[in-house]
Amino acid sequence: MAEDALQDPFNPAQPTTASPSRPTTLSLPSKPALSHRPSFTTVLSTADLSAAVEGQVDLPSAPPLSHEALAGDDFDASEFLLARRHTPLDDLRSELRGYLATLRTSLVGVINEEYEAFIGLSLGLKHAAVSQSLATIHRPVLSIRGEVMRVKDELENMRSEMSGVLDERKEVREMKAMMRRLLATEEAVDKVEGLLKPAGEADKSRSLDLAVDSPAKRLERIASEYTHMLYLVERAGNLPFVKALQPRIDRVTSALRTDLSSLLSAILAGSPSTPTYREELAIALRTFLSLGLVSQVEDIVRRGVVRPFVKHAIHRDALSSPIDSPALSSHPAHVPPSYRIEPIAVPPAHREGRDAAPLTALYNRILAFVSHDCGVLLDVAERGLASQHDRRSVDTDGAVSKDGDAEKVEGFEILTNALFDETGTALMGELGGVIYAAGRPTVFHQNYLLTTVFVSRIESLSPTLARLTSLRSHSTYTTLLKRFQLPVYFQLRFKDAVTSVERAFEVGQASGGGGAEGFVMSESEAAFKALRRCWDEDVWLEELAGRFWRLTLQLAASAGNSRPATPGPASGNDEVSEETTLRQLTVLIADAQTMERKVLELFKERIRGRLPADVRDEAGDIMRDSLSSVTAIVPSLSSQITTILIKRCAEHLKLVRSVASQVRASTRKGPSEPSYFVHNILKEVRAYLGGPGRVVEEELRRRLATVVVEDIAGRYTSILSTQKKTEDSLRWLKKGRQGLSFFGRAASSASPADDGSSDDDRVKMQMQLDVETLAKDAEELGVDVEGSGLSSLQRHLDSADHYTTLGTSLAAQQASTLSSQLSTFQSALSRFSSSHRAKILSNPEFRTHFSALCAELGVDPLGGGSKGLWDKMGLTDWYYALGVQVVDVCLRARERGGGLVALDEVIREVQKLRSGKHVKTVGAPKAAGPTPLEASSTSTSSEITEADVQRAIEALEPLGCGYSILTVGSKKVVRCSPGQLDRDSLVAVEAAGSTRRGAVTAEELQAYTGRDGIKWDVERVERALEKAVMDDGMLWVDEQAGDAIYVQRDYYAPG
């Protein structure tokens, strides 16, 4: 239908042929196909122009587009285009597009037409006799089905008959093969029996064949037949016929094993140096291996070869009797190269151990036996036959068989199961007490090293890693080495190390330095020797390297923690104790540095190489961390040393203040030598570095000297700075008093460039010389002067000189200005004192304010020559008289109150003395000013105050009588003792005044001093009380008997 629908669009009149398979009832009237309008080119190509062009050349023509031309099997695009090569492309494209539109229209028509046919078919089936047609077809189909089933059953019967016939034939063949195997088995048994019979009983022809072979080859052939017989017996199975042959097979097996054992024993009894020994041995062992009799060969070697030698060589007296062992340095020619063992060298005898030569000779004798007598046997059994067995274990594909354990040894293990087992058992049983040397670490170490070397020689004979593993896992191997109690040996060595260190600490004496190890204290030297002992050749064991490493770290760390207690600073002025402390500190530092240096050297030279390679770098860091506890005390101890040295050197710096006075008192124009105390400043440092300090390292000595010099230079600078300020203040005061006196003093006529400036220059030159000398002394001690505080001291002197010159010029300029200003002030102050003279004399409060004004202006009313400010007002003699009365009162009260009198009591008694009765006011001088003696009996309305008493005492100060006003607790007292009061005595008086009863005991004084956090000790309390009573007379003592032993003392403060 589709072909009819897709008819040639250029031939629409072509009749449509109906499909023969379609009924006429289902045919539908076909629609007329749409005609395709040809192009102008097509018309020209198809038109008959022969008449028009007759007599001319034909034009090129192209076949028209048709469905048959484009849908045919022989359509060729190239030919199609060549046929239209004269057609323009635009025309050809238009023509093809038109044909495409025609095809699309035809396709739509086909779809519509087919759909109508499908609908018509479904309608036609409803009216047809479908059920009748199916019934007609059903009978033939059932007939065909029955015929097929019959044929299938016949074929199944034929197959069953054929299978039965084939099974019968197979059973016959198997029975026939079994009969042949049974006959072959009987023949094999007969053959093996005939081969094992003596030559006279066997077949003569067969005996002649075997006579030409050696016994080893003969038994090898018999073994081959025997193996074939066993194969046939196994193939035959568990049949009665085979069971009947079993007694004969057992006799054959027993006879063959007996003959093989006798043959191997005979071969082993011969000399390994014979030419046929190796060949016959290889044949015999190969025969045993083919039969699986490995353990039987090992037992024969043990009983026939090893045990006789062991009984003769290893016994209880083997190490006491001389041993004649063959030399291992030269081997016989028959010994294989792999079994030429190097002999064990005799180790040097230790002072604590026994001679190792007997045990070494015994081990060398065993090694010589293994090498000379068993070398060929081991080479054949464990190398030759083992390699052949390994080659046979390779599969046909070239891959090694993986059945079984990879570490399992296939073949003979004569070295492990015969030689080492028998030898090791004899060594442990006969010589175990001597070799293991329990309780004797030196002998134990010696024997252990020899035994491990001996075992390593045996291990070197193992041809493969699997055999070596098998040897090391053998019970005799593990027992032989395990009986060396390595933990017990380490505990003995640990005990020796700890005991030596503890013994040194019990002695606790310094060796004096300069010993063989370089330590000063015996404790440090013992600790280092114990540490080094762990890595000596006669102590260290590779198996205990980890434990010895931990012990080394513990000893290194305990060297700092187990030192004697670090001494504290010396107390008071005890020079002996201070010197002892200095020596102890130096010794501790020297030993700490020596310990660190020597332990690190020991680590690099000996310890590092004996540690595992993967932990060596990390071990170095761990060792330094352990030593950090040893050297951690060095900074603090160095600080204590420098504190002591600085304290000693600073004592001489007190004399620096006297340089100026000494230079000014001298008549020399310039300094010729440094001050006498300069060389003594660093004297203690020189004495220390040349004495106790010589044991420390040079670098540390230089650092100590540098620290001391820097501190001394700083103190020196501070003293010079303070002295410079004092000199400047005195110079200003001197100039002020010379040129700016207020009352009755003429200005000095000396010029600024007088002898004072020359004295200053000489002082500066002397100080410069002292500093240079101090710098030279520091250089001799190894101190870098440029980098220390001495350079700043020198710069301070230079800057001070510059500032002094500048200050002198400025002072000269300011002096002239102040001179005119103070002259004006002088006149004003004089007029003020004259105007208010009466009020100053009569009113004590006004007089006090006037005194304060003079003090703020820096004017000394009592000074200034014969005619001062008070002289003009008539008060000088009044204060002198008041001072005499104060002295009179204090002298009368000294016996009662000691050297201290309460200030209020002095004022009260002075008023009594001046008035002659208990009155508050006493006499005061009139304007004209009576004499001091008259002032005591003359009564006025003037009142005496504390300021008056204080000013009167200050007026007496030039006399040097030692009077002053002090504050004891909250109370003011007048000191009337000429000596120097101690601060401790004042504290004792203050403590007595703080109690209600006015007295204090030693315990109460000690508790009173503890208020400030610094509690006095008993010795200081007693010393203060004794001085206050006996020397100063400020306390009274009252003794009251408590019991027969204890006497209570109360110390009273008078007043």
Per-residue burial over 1036-1046, b = 16 or more CB atoms within 10 Å of its CB, e = otherwise: beeeeeeeeee
Q: Is 854 helix (H, G, I), strand (E, B) or coil?
A: helix
pLDDT in tens, 658-700: 877 777 777 777 777 888 888 888 888 888 888 888 888 888 8
Highest-confidence segment of 779-783, 863-867, 1026-1030: 779-783
pLDDT exceeds 60 at position 145: yes
Confidence of residue 426 (pLDDT cuts 50, 70, 90): very high
Find where tokens 């400047």 sit.
Answer: 728
β-pairing verdict for 999-1000 and 1047-1052 = antiparallel
Q: What is the mean pLDDT of residues 79-100?
A: 83
Q: Highest-confidence range of 504-513, 547-556, 791-800, by mean pLDDT?
A: 547-556
Predicted confidence at residue 422, as pLDDT, reads: 92
Per the model's pLDDT, the better-predicted residue between 201 and 1000 turns out to be 1000
Among candidates 291, 290, 265, which has minimal Cα distance to 280?
265
Which range among 110-124, 454-468, 567-581, 802-816 shows the weakest confidence by mean pLDDT?
802-816
Please tell me the predicted confidence (pLDDT) of residue 862: 45
- The span from the first CA to the last CA of the chain, in angstroms, equals 157
Residue 887, pLDDT score: 79
Residue 933 and residue 925: Cα distance in Å, rounded? 11
What does the pLDDT read at residue 815? 66
By C-alpha distance, which of 419, 424, 343, 326 is closest to 381? 419
**pLDDT value at position 382?**
87
Answer whether 286's CB lies under 8 Å from 297's CB. no
Q: What is the pLDDT of residues 272-311, one digit of tens each?
A: 888 888 888 888 888 888 888 889 989 999 999 999 999 9
Place of tokens 């066993």: 230
pLDDT band per the 50, 70, 90 thresholds, residue 939: very low
Q: What percent of the chain has pLDDT over 90?
A: 5
The pLDDT-based confidence of 971 (bands split at 50, 70, 90) is confident
827 or 519: which leads in pLDDT? 519
Helix (H) or strand (E) holding 364: helix 357-368
> Helix (H, G, I), strand (E, B), or coil: what is residue 118?
helix
pLDDT of residue 349: 66
Residue 1054's pLDDT is 66
Q: What pLDDT, on a 0 to 100 scale, did the predictor assign at position 406?
A: 45
Nearest Cα residue to 346 out of 426, 482, 441, 454? 454
**Residue 847 neighbours by CB under 8 Å, 6+ apart:** 840, 841, 948
Q: Which two tokens stand for residue 318?
A: 């083997």
- Give the per-residue pLDDT at 627: 85
Structure tokens at 406: 């990879």
The answer to whether 360 and 344 are in contact (CB under 8 A) is: yes
| Of 209 and 138, the one with more pLDDT | 138
pLDDT at 6 over 60: no
What region, left, alpha or beta, does residue 874 occupy, with left being phi > 0 and alpha being psi -120 to 50 degrees?
left
- Tokens describing residue 409: 């040894």
pLDDT for position 927: 36
Q: pLDDT by residue (tens digit) across 155-213?
A: 898 889 899 889 988 988 888 888 888 888 888 888 888 888 754 444 444 444 444 46
pLDDT beyond 80 at 463:
yes
Q: What is the DSSP letter of 746?
A: P
- Which residue, chain included where needed, has tokens 């003359």? 938
Q: Is pLDDT at 864 greater than 50 in this prediction? A: no
**Average pLDDT, whole number, for the chain?**
74
Task: Specify the pLDDT at position 458.
Answer: 92
The four Cα atoms 37, 40, 41, 45 give a dihedral, to 10 degrees, of 80
To which H or E segment does residue 901 belong?
A: strand 900-902
Helix (H, G, I), strand (E, B) or coil at 1052: strand
**Does the pLDDT value for residue 477 go beyond 90?**
yes
The secondary element (H helix, E strand) that includes residue 871 is helix 869-873
Residue with tokens 């501070």: 718
pLDDT for res 734? 61
pLDDT, tens digit, 9 for 90 and up, residues 233-250: 888 888 888 888 888 888
* Mean pLDDT on 818-835: 70
Which range is least confidently modeled, 258-267, 500-509, 537-546, 1041-1050? 1041-1050
Mean pLDDT value of segment 761-784: 82
Q: Report the pLDDT averaged over residues 725-735.
A: 68
**Per-residue pLDDT for 455 more than 90?**
yes
Q: What is the pLDDT averaged over residues 714-740?
A: 69
Q: What is the pLDDT of residues 343-376, one digit of tens each?
A: 888 887 665 556 778 888 899 999 999 988 898 8
Name the more confident of 139 and 15: 139
Q: 205-209, 581-585, 926-930, 982-986: which range is least confident on average?
A: 926-930
Our CA dihedral for 132, 136, 138, 143, rounded to 10 degrees, sits at 160
C-alpha of 343 from chain center: 44
Structure tokens at 966: 């002090």
Only one residue has tokens 């508050």, namely 920
> Above 90 in pLDDT, residue 453?
yes
Residue 233 per-residue DSSP state: H
Comparing 126-140, 216-230, 412-426, 847-861, the range with the smallest average pLDDT is 847-861
Average pLDDT (113-136) is 65
Residue 911: exposure state from Cβ atoms within 10 A (0-12, 13-18, ≥19): buried
Contact present, 224 and 188 (Cβ < 8 Å): no
Given a contact cutoff of 8 angstroms between Cβ atoms, the answer to whether 974 and 906 are in contact is: yes
Coil, helix or strand for 940?
coil
Distances (CA, A) of 425 to 240, 432, 987: 49, 10, 92
State whether the Cα torsion 797-798-802-808 is positive or negative: positive
